[in-house]
Amino acid sequence: MLRRVTLLLIILYAGSFSVRVSAEEKIGDCLACHQKDTRGIFQAWVNSKHAQKGVDCITCHKNHDEARLKKSAVEPEVCGKCHKEKFYEFHQGRHSVTWERMKEHGQYKALPRSLRKAFCERCHSIQNKCNSCHTSHSFKPEEAREPEACKKCHTGLAGPHDEMYASSLHGTIYAAEKNPVRAPNCVTCHMHKGNHNVSSGIVYDSWGDPVDKEGRTLAPVEQEEIRKQMIKNVCFQCHIKSLTLERFELADQVKKGAKEVLSEAEKVIRELEQEGILPPGVELGKNQLHQETSRIEALYYRMFRFHNIYTWKGAYHFSADFAHWYGWAHLQMSLIEIKEEARKLREMNRMKK
Amino acid sequence: MRCFLTILFLFVMCPSLIMCIGPLKKTEEPIDPGFCMNCHQGVTPGIFQSWAESKHAKKGVHCVSCHVDHQAASEQKSMVFPEKCGECHKKELADFRKSRHSIGFDRMRIQGEYLGIPQEIRAAFCERCHIIQKRCNSCHTSHKFSVKEARGPDACGSCHLGPDHPHKEMYETSLHGTIYKVTQDPERAPRCVTCHMPNGTHDSSFGIARGPAGTRTEVVDLKEVPISEEEVAKRRKEMIGVCSKCHSKRFAQEQLENADQVKEEGFQLLERGKEAILEIEKEGLIFPPVTERMPHPTEGRAMVLADPQLYIGTSHIERLFFTMFKFHNIRVWKSGYHFSPAYTHGQGWAEMQMDLIDIKEEAQKLRDLFKEMKK
The predicted structure's pLDDT at residue A25: 63
Q: Is B161 an interface residue toward A (CB < 8 Å)?
A: yes
Last residue of a domain, one of B78, B100, B126: B78
Last residue of a domain, one of B45, B78, B111: B78
Residue B21 lies in a domain: yes
Q: Is the model more confident about B232 or about B84?
A: B84
* Percent with pLDDT over 90 in chain B: 74
The predicted structure's pLDDT at residue B217: 60
Omega prior to A137 cis, within 30 of 0: yes
Tell me which chain B residues have a C-beta less than 8 angstroms from the C-beta of A318.
128
pLDDT, one tens digit per residue, over B13-26 is 444 444 444 344 44
pLDDT band at B7 (very low <50, low <70, confident <90, very high): low
Residue B293 lies in a domain: yes
CA dihedral A104, A107, A109, A115 (to 10 degrees): -130
CA distance B274 to B280: 10
pLDDT, one tens digit per residue, over B261-277 is 999 999 999 999 999 99
The predicted structure's pLDDT at residue B285: 97
Beta-carbon contacts below 8 Å between A and B = 123
Is A167 in contact with B77 (Cβ distance < 8 A)?
A: no
The predicted structure's pLDDT at residue A66: 87
Residue B325 lies in a domain: yes
The predicted structure's pLDDT at residue B208: 82
Rounded mean pLDDT, B22-45:
69
Residue B177 lies in a domain: no
Tell me which chain A residues have a C-beta less than 8 angstroms from the C-beta of B144.
182
Distances in Å between the Cα of B22 and the Cα atoms of B9, B18, B36, B68 are 21, 6, 17, 22
The predicted structure's pLDDT at residue B16: 43
Q: Average per-residue pLDDT in chain B?
A: 88
Rounded mean pLDDT, B175-194:
96
Residue B221 lies in a domain: no
Give contacts of A 20-39 with B, CB under 8 A: none
pLDDT, one tens digit per residue, over B209-223 is 666 555 556 778 888
**Beta bridge pairs of residue B220:** B226
Structural domain range at position B350: 259-374
Q: How many residues does chain A have?
A: 353
**Beta bridge pairs of residue B34:** none
Chain B, nearest residue to A166 by Cα: B158
SS3 B220: strand
Last residue of a domain, one of B78, B95, B118: B78
Closest CA to B367 of B270, B284, B261, B272: B284
Residue A161: which region, alpha, beta or left (left: phi > 0; alpha: psi -120 to 50)?
alpha
* A171-180, B15-24, B72-81, B83-92: range with lowest mean pLDDT: B15-24
Residue B73 lies in a domain: yes
The predicted structure's pLDDT at residue B375: 58
**Beta bridge pairs of residue A217:** A211
Amino acid symbol at B204: S
CA angle A304, A308, A309 (to 5 degrees): 105
Instruction: With a cut of 90, say whether residue B330 has pLDDT above it.
Output: yes
CA distance A255 to A14: 59
The predicted structure's pLDDT at residue B138: 94
Is B315 in contact with A340 (Cβ distance < 8 A)?
A: yes
Distances in Å between the Cα of B304 and the Cα atoms of A64, A224, B112, B322 are 71, 44, 10, 10
Instruction: With a cut of 80, say whether residue B335 has pLDDT above it.
Output: yes
Tell me which residue in A172, A243, A326 faces B155 most closely, judged by beta carbons: A172
Q: Is B263 an interface residue toward A (CB < 8 Å)?
A: no
pLDDT tens-digit profile, chain A (353 residues): 555 655 555 554 444 444 444 444 677 888 889 999 999 999 999 999 999 999 999 999 988 888 888 888 999 999 999 999 999 999 999 999 999 999 999 999 999 999 999 999 999 999 999 999 999 999 999 999 999 999 999 999 989 999 999 999 999 999 988 999 999 999 999 999 999 999 999 999 999 999 999 999 999 999 999 999 999 999 999 998 888 999 999 999 999 999 999 999 999 999 999 999 999 999 999 999 999 999 999 999 999 999 999 999 999 999 999 999 999 999 999 999 999 999 999 999 999 98
Residue B91 lies in a domain: no
The predicted structure's pLDDT at residue A92: 96
Q: Is B289 an interface residue toward A (CB < 8 Å)?
A: no
Is B315 in contact with A336 (Cβ distance < 8 A)?
A: yes
The predicted structure's pLDDT at residue A6: 58
Number of domains in chain B: 2
DSSP structural state of residue A211 = B
Residue B171 lies in a domain: no
Rounded mean pLDDT, B229-246:
93
Contact B361, B291 (CB under 8 A): no
* Structural domains present in chain A: 1-57 (no CATH), 245-352 (1.20.850.10)
